[in-house]
Amino acid sequence: MGILALAGYASSCATPLERARALTRVPPIMTAPSVTTPIAVDPTVMDAASLPSVVGPLPYNGQADLHRAGILAEGAESSGEIALTFDDGPSAETTSEVLRILAAHKAKGAFFLTGRRLEGSSVVADMNRAMARAIVAAGHTLGNHGLDHFAVNKQDLAWNLLQIEESARLITDATGTPVRYFRPPYGKIGAAAQGILVSRRDELVMWTIDAQDTRETDPERLAARLIAQLMFAGQGIVLLHDLRGPSVRALSLLLDWLAAHPRDADKGTGYTVVDLPTYLSHAAARPWPYATRLELYHAREKLHAIERLASKPKRKQ
């Protein structure tokens, strides 16, 4: 399917209900928590090697609040920025293809790895660890998606520590790189897990653009859904799963479409792919002027309604 045909197909796929669901998967923001003050460090007392772990990046969501994470996922106001994220990997076969496609488009992504895939002495585990190192070598962002892909919403602190800390350890052991981004499986997180993220100073990362690629197997339909949601929202964090072949093909179609619609800052049109750290930093610096994601959704609906009315040909008197 060509790019123009895909865009038309995307428009036909985007029902208001589907778009509403895509934008309201996370509960609306009520109050954004204050950000914790960075730890003061005296470099004359501490050796240089110890500084990065102490004065590392401060989370923009210091309380690991799910609602705050949702509004950050909406990005900087009217930026046209897109962050590409991939969950559940790595896989030597499909993740390598994702890396190839991203390199061809000079795009960076964020990979939220499940720790259990990096554990053990099997050939598959060795290949997965090698793929995790390849992700880092290519300049992409590493994220933690839990040890076993279980929802971290239980009250049991020890259980949540296992899912978060053990997964982070396995990722770091495999890559030599600390991991400071966490995406909760199924978008669910409880108080115990939030407390762990706060103590680790990890960033809780959600998403806004979701084609439901764990259910759909047609890559063209997946790409069309992603494009429809991007056309409605204007930007967002894209969620895909790098374990799935159709998702890999959908990524290629999406990037082809984005290449045909580059960002024009003067006109406020088009899109640009940025890495996840850049996306979140811009979102924190220039947030949307709405208290909740639901308010933002309604504002977008009104804007699109006005645009549809303006584009309709006027009747002759």
Residue pLDDT, tens place only, 150-173: 999 999 999 999 999 999 999 999
**Domain layout of the chain by residue ranges:** 3-23+59-311
Local confidence band at 307 (pLDDT 50, 70, 90 cut-offs):
confident
Task: Name 213's Cβ contacts closer than 8 Å, sequence gap at least 6.
Answer: 222, 240, 241, 244, 246, 247, 250
Tell whether pTM > 0.85. Answer: no
Residue with the larger pLDDT of the pair 291 and 143: 143
pLDDT value for 3 = 55
Q: pLDDT for 80-113, tens place per residue?
A: 999 999 999 999 999 999 999 999 999 999 999 9
The rounded distance, in Å, linking the Cα atoms of 243 and 1 is 23
Q: pLDDT for 35-56, tens place per residue?
A: 333 333 333 333 333 323 333 4
Contact 87, 98 (CB under 8 A): no
pLDDT value for 12 = 52
Among 3.30.230.10, 3.40.50.1820, 3.20.20.370, 3.30.930.10, what is the CATH number of 3-23+59-311?
3.20.20.370
Tell me: pLDDT of 317 over 70. Answer: no
Q: Respond yes or no on whether the N-terminal peptide bond of residue 289 is cis (omega within 30° of 0).
A: no
**Mean pLDDT of the residues in the chain:** 84
**Length of the chain in terms of residues written:** 317
Cα-Cα-Cα-Cα torsion 13, 19, 22, 27, nearest 10 degrees, comes to -160
Contact 162, 192 (CB under 8 A): no
Local confidence band at 33 (pLDDT 50, 70, 90 cut-offs):
very low
Looking at residues 10-27, what average pLDDT do you find?
44
Nearest to 22 by CA among 288, 190, 243, 232: 232
